[in-house]
Amino acid sequence: QSALTQPASVSGSPGQSITISCTGTSSDVGAYNYVSWYQQHPAKAPKLMIYDVSNRPSGVSNRFSGSKSGNTASLTISGLQAEDEADYYCGSYTTSITYVFGTGTKVTVL
């Protein structure tokens, strides 16, 4: 299985909104509404930010939102803050009953 495709880097100024894309195939992202997003700060374990395309776990800021269209999912961070600077990964359940992560995106707050 191939990793889902994400842009290597995205940047924005404080207060702005940014969107990270996650492109897969009809066998993963496009197959089900089972796409998740993870935030990882340096030397820390990843943290689940969005699950099932657009659901936020308890405690996650509503500045984080997710969506999906066809084989591409997106994570939008609104009102960008310095603490949002981190690596972000998408992940998807697949039709082969496996799981696949994205290539990862480094978010920089200018």
Instruction: Summarize as ranges the residues that interact with another protein (CB under 8 A).
Output: 1, 3, 32-34, 36, 38, 45-48, 51-52, 55, 57, 89, 91, 93, 96-104
Using CB atoms within 10 A of its CB, is residue 35 exposed (0-12), middle (13-18) or buried (19+)?
A: buried
Least Å from the CB of residue 107 to another protein:
14
Q: Whole-angstrom Cα distance, residue 9 to residue 77?
A: 14
Least Å from the CB of residue 72 to another protein:
18
Least Å from the CB of residue 6 to another protein:
9
- 79 within 8 A of 32, measured Cβ to Cβ: no
In the bound state with another protein, the residue whose beta carbon lies nearer, of 18 and 38, is: 38
In the bound state with another protein, the residue whose beta carbon lies nearer, of 19 and 101, is: 101
In the bound state with another protein, the residue whose beta carbon lies nearer, of 32 and 64, is: 32
Least Å from the CB of residue 21 to another protein:
16
Q: Give residue 52's identity as a one-letter amino acid code.
A: D
C-alpha pair distances (Å), 23 with each of 17, 19, 43, 89, 99: 20, 13, 26, 12, 14
